[in-house]
Amino acid sequence: MNILDIRNLTIELETDAGLVRVLDRFSLQLAEGEIHTLVGESGSGKSLLAKAILGFINPKWKITADRLWWRQYDLLNLNPAARRIITGRDMAMIFQDPSSYLDPNDKVGAQLRESIPRGELSGIYLKRRADRQTRAERLLHRVGIKNTEEVMDAYPHELSEGLAQKISIAMAIAHNPKLLIADEPTTAMEPNTRAQIYRLLTKLSASQGMSILMITQDLTAVIPESKQMSLIYCGQLMETGPTEQLMSTPAHPYTEAMLNMSLYHQQSEPKSRLPTLTGAIPTLQHMPIGCRLGPRCPYARKACVQQPALRKIKSQQFACHYPLRDGDDHE
Amino acid sequence: MSKLLEVRNISKYYTHKDGWLPGRRICALEPLSFSLERGETLAIMGETGSGKSTIAKIIAGAEKPSSGELFINGQALDKMADQQRCRYVRMIFQDSLRSLNPQITVGKQLLEPLLFNHDGRSLEERKKRVFETLRKVGLLPEHYHFYPHMLSSGQQQRVCIARAIVLEPQIIVADEAFAALDPSIRAQIINLILDLQQDMGISFIFVTHSPEIVKHVSDKILIMHRGKMIEFGTTQALITDPQESLTATLLQADNNYKVPLHSTTKE
C-alpha cells in the first residue's frame, strides 16, 4: 500500500525570463516502511520536491499534479491549515549541514524539549516539565547517544557534525512521523559518521515502520536497505525501480553514466580516464527541450528532442528513446 | 637521484598562551617522515581532527612546522623564500568560489602569481602564458574576462587548478578538492588532473575521504589517526593487506555503513 503517491508533479517558478519548469512531470510512489533513495545532481529539483511534499511552498511557485496524495488525503486540494496539521503530524525532515539548522543561542536540551509535541503530555505544569525531560532523554537514547546530560547541556557549536545530525534526527522523530525526508543528511561527513547515520536511519525505519525518502547526490551513498531508487536529472525523472536491478542492469544512459562516474563498481583501471558526461549541468534559464540529458548524452539521436514517455520493463521504469536494455532479450 | 619531496620528522605543536599553565603544548602532528617521487600521487586519509589537513598545509607552506625539515629535489624547502617556494608547491582548496577573489576577473587572478615570479617577462608574455594555461584546463580564452561568479562550479574549480599550474609547480596539494562537486563534474576534474599529471609530470597530494577516488587516482596512501601516521604504503598494498583496522574501514567502499553505532560520541 503506497502511503505517498505522486503522479506527474510539475513545479514552475516565476522568473524574469518567464515560467521555468524546475520539476517536470515527476512521479514517485512510496510504500509504508520503505526507504526510497532519490539521486540527483545539484539543480535537479530534488530539494524542491521535498519542499512540495511538505508544503513549504512559495506563492510564486506554480504546482500542478495529477495526484499528490498522502495516505487518504489529497494534499493539493486541502486548505493550508488542514494540510499543516497533517504534515506536522505525519512528516519530518532532516537537512544537510545539521549544526546550522540548530539554534546557536539555545542549549541542545532546550531545543529538544521544545520539539516534543505538547498534546502528548498531561498533568500539571511540574509533571509536564519532568515528563518532557525524560522523554527528551529517551529520544537521545533512541538515536544512540549515551551521555545524555553532557549533550543536552551543550550548545550546537560544541557538537561534532555526526552528533548534531543525530540530534536533528531525534527532534524529527519526536512525534513519531510516518515519513522522514532526509535531504543529503551525510554530505561532507566522514565515512564512519556517515555509516552511523545510515545505520540509525535504517534501524528507525525497520523498528517503527517509518518510510524514508533519502535524497542524495551520489550513487555511492545509496544504502543496501534502500530497496527502491529514482534518478532525477534537471527536474526530469530518468529512471526508477528496485535498487539492485538499477545498479546491475541500468536501462537509462544517465544511470549508467552515474554508476561509472562515481566509480561504483570500481572496475576501471586505476589512473584510467573516467567516462564522463560532456559539458556542464544546464542552468534553469537554458534548459534543453525534450529529454534534458540530450546535449550531454552519448547515445542521443534526433528523436531525443521529444520528451520520451516513461516505459516499464520488469518493475524498472525509465524515460528514454534508446534504452540500454530492452525487455525482449532479457531472461 | 634524490626524491622529489622528502618530509623528515615534521611535527606540529600548538601552545596554550594563557591559563594556569601557559606553555602547555597540544600535539597536532607527531613527528612523521615520508617521501614522494616525481609524478606520483599521494592520498592522505584519516578521520576528522587526525591532522591530515595540517600536513597538507605544512607542505604547501601555509603553516610552519614546529620541527623537522622538508626537502624538494634535495633542497631545503623551508629555507626558501615564499616566492621561490610557490614555484614548487601550490595548493587547491575545497570551496573553489570562496578561494577566488570575487572582485577581479579570472585573467587577473591568473596573472597575479606570475607577477611575483615574472622572471623579467613582459605583460604580453605573461598574458600568453595565462591563455595557454586556460586552454590546458579546458577553458576558453574568453574566460579571461569573466568574473568568478559567472562560471559554473566545475569551471570555477578549473580556474583554481589553472591558478595552481600557471607557475608550473612540481607538487600540487589538494585539500578536499572534490568533496563539494557533483558526480559528473567531479569525474571531469579527475580526468583533468590525470591528464595534467601525464603531460606536466606533476605530483599530487590529495586530502580526501572518498575511498573510490583514492583507489582510482593514488599511487601511495598515508593513513592518519590522532596526529600519528599509522600506515604508509602503496595503494595496492594497503588495499590487499591493510595492517590497521582503521585503514580497512577507511578504504572500504561498499559496506562501510556497518561500523558500530556507538563508536564516537561527543568529540
User: Which among A147, A196, A263 has CB closest to B259?
Assistant: A196
Determine the Cα–Cα distance for residues B239 and B216; give it in Å rounded to an integer.
Answer: 12
Q: Do B184 and A276 touch (CB under 8 A)?
A: yes
Mean pLDDT of chain A: 84
What's the pLDDT tens digit per position in A157-174? Answer: 888 888 888 899 899 988
Contact A258 B265 (CB under 8 A): no
pLDDT attached to residue A179 = 92
pLDDT at B160 over 70: yes
At B267, the pLDDT band (50, 70, 90 cuts) reads very low
Cα separation of the two ends of chain B: 45
Domain boundaries, chain B: 97-168
Q: Is the ipTM of this complex over 0.85?
A: no
Which residues from B are below 8 Å from A154, CB to CB?
A: 266
What does R_g of chain A's alpha carbons equal in angstroms? 21
CATH numbers and ranges of domains, chain A = 2-226 (3.40.50.300)
Residues in chain B: 267
- Quote the pLDDT of residue A321: 86
Cell numbers describing residue B186: 567531479
Identity of the residue numbered A286: H
Residue in B188, B234, B230 with CA at minimum distance from that of residue B47: B230
Cα distance from A249 to chain B (closest Cα, Å)?
Answer: 18
Task: Evaluate if residue B228 carries a pLDDT over 60.
Answer: yes
Size of interface A-B (CB pairs under 8 A): 121
Of A313, A319, A322, A308, the residue nearest A245 (C-alpha): A313
Q: Are A213 and A226 in contact (CB under 8 A)?
A: no
CA distance B60 to chain A (A): 23
Question: What is the rounded CA–CA span in Å between residue B86 and residue B88?
Answer: 5
Please give the grid coordinates belonging to residue A248.
546491475
SS3 B244: coil
Rounded percentage of chain A residues whose pLDDT exceeds 90: 8
Q: What is the rounded radius of gyration, in angstroms, for the C-alpha atoms of chain B? A: 19
- The pLDDT-based confidence of A268 (bands split at 50, 70, 90) is low
Centre a 10 Å sphere on the Cβ of residue B192 and count the other Cβ atoms it contains.
Answer: 18
A34: helix, strand or coil? coil
For an interface test with A, give the residue of B45, B140, B182 to mutate (most A CBs within 10 A): B182
Compare CB distances from B266 to A159, A194, A200 and report the shortest one's residue: A159
pLDDT, position B266 = 35
Chain B residue nearest residue A218, CA to CA:
B183
CB contact under 8 A, A190 and B48: yes
* DSSP β-bridge partners for residue A23: A11
Q: What's the gap between Cα A60 and its chain centre?
A: 23
Q: Which residues in chain A are closer than 8 Å to B185, comparing Cβ atoms? A: 280-281
Mean pLDDT of the A270-280 span: 76
Q: Dihedral of CA A270/A273/A276/A281: which sign?
A: positive
Residue A121 Ramachandran class (φ > 0 left, ψ -120 to 50 alpha, else beta): beta
- Could you tell me which chain A residue has the CA closest to the CA of B191? A273
Contact A132, A116 (CB under 8 A): yes
Chain B interface mutation, best of A198, A268, A274, A277, highest count of B Cβ atoms under 10 Å? A274
Name the interface residues of B facing A (CB cutoff 8 Å).
47-48, 152-155, 179-180, 182-188, 190-191, 194-195, 209-213, 215-217, 235, 249-250, 253, 255-259, 261-267
Nearest C-alpha of chain A: how many angstroms from B160? 17
* Chain B residues within 8 A of A264 when measuring between CB atoms: 212
For residue A192, give the nearest of B183, B215, B249 by CB distance. Answer: B249
* pLDDT tens string A77-125: 888 899 888 988 889 999 888 888 889 999 999 999 988 887 777 888 8
CB A273 to CB B194 under 8 A?
Answer: yes
Does A326 score more than 70 pLDDT?
A: no
- The answer to whether the Cβ–Cβ distance between A196 and B253 falls below 8 Å is no
Nearest to A263 by CA among B73, B58, B254, B180: B254
Q: Please list every residue in chain A whose beta carbon sits closer than 8 Å to the beta carbon of residue B257.
A: 194-195, 198-199, 223
pLDDT for residue A331 is more than 60: no
Q: Are B229 and B221 in contact (CB under 8 A)?
A: no
What pLDDT, on the 0 to 100 scale, is given for residue B21? Answer: 72
Contact A262 B212 (CB under 8 A): yes
Beta bridge partners, B203, equal B171
**What is the pLDDT averaged over residues B83-107?**
86
Q: What is the pTM of this model?
A: 0.81
H or E element, residue B54: helix B52-60
Residues of A in contact with B184 (CB under 8 A): 41, 257-258, 261, 276-277, 281, 296
Between β-strands B203-207 and B41-46, what pairing exists: parallel, antiparallel or unpaired? parallel
Which residues lie below 8 Å from residue A265, measured CB to CB, with a gap of 6+? A259
Residues in A touching B186 (Cβ below 8 Å): 261
Task: Please give the biggest Cα pair distance in chain A.
Answer: 72
Once rounded to an integer, what is the mean pLDDT over residues B52-73? 86
- What is the three-class DSSP state of A326? coil
A271 vs A142: which has the higher pLDDT: A142
Q: In chain A, which residues have their Cβ closer than 8 Å to the Cβ of B256?
A: 191-192, 194-195
Nearest CB to A268 within list B216, B249, B265: B216
- The Cα A207–Cα B183 span in angstroms is 33
Shortest CA gap A38–chain B (Å): 14
CA distance A28 to chain B (A): 23
